[in-house]
Amino acid sequence: MKGRALVAWNLRRLRVERGISQEKLAADAGVDRAYLGGLERQTENPTVDLLDKIADALALSVSELFVVPDEGALPPQPLRSGRKAN
């Protein structure tokens, strides 16, 4: 798996595991939500500085964004859209 695909895979996996929307993560990391979505779709190429911001917002090490998934692992699914019940 190429670097951009690894970042996209892990970014979505980590964000969804934590139940964080793209909008919230983008705000916490100080980046545009559409750009963050582009990272998850592999249409954007992040800088190391941006990866640092995202890792800080997720409270993890940048290396977590480069973890190779197990062979046969299913791609991370997006969060359900819509409002969450309180």
CATH number of 53's domain = 1.10.260.40
Do the domain assignments include residue 79? no
What's the predicted TM-score (pTM) here?
0.83
Do the domain assignments include residue 21? yes
Do the domain assignments include residue 7? yes
CA geometry: angle at 25 spanning 44 and 10, to 5°? Answer: 60
Q: What is the pLDDT of residues 1-30, one digit of tens each?
A: 799 999 999 999 999 999 999 999 999 999
Rounded CA separation 22/70 (Å): 24
Give the DSSP letter of residue 44: S
Q: What is the pLDDT of residues 58-68, one digit of tens each?
A: 999 999 999 99
Q: Are 1 and 61 in contact (CB under 8 A)?
A: no
- pLDDT band at residue 75, thresholds of 50, 70 and 90? confident
Do the domain assignments include residue 41? yes
Do the domain assignments include residue 53? yes
Query: What is the domain range of residue 13?
Result: 3-63
Question: How many domains in the chain?
Answer: 1
Rounded CA separation 59/72 (Å): 27
Give the closest residue to 58 by CA, choosing from 9, 86, 21.
21
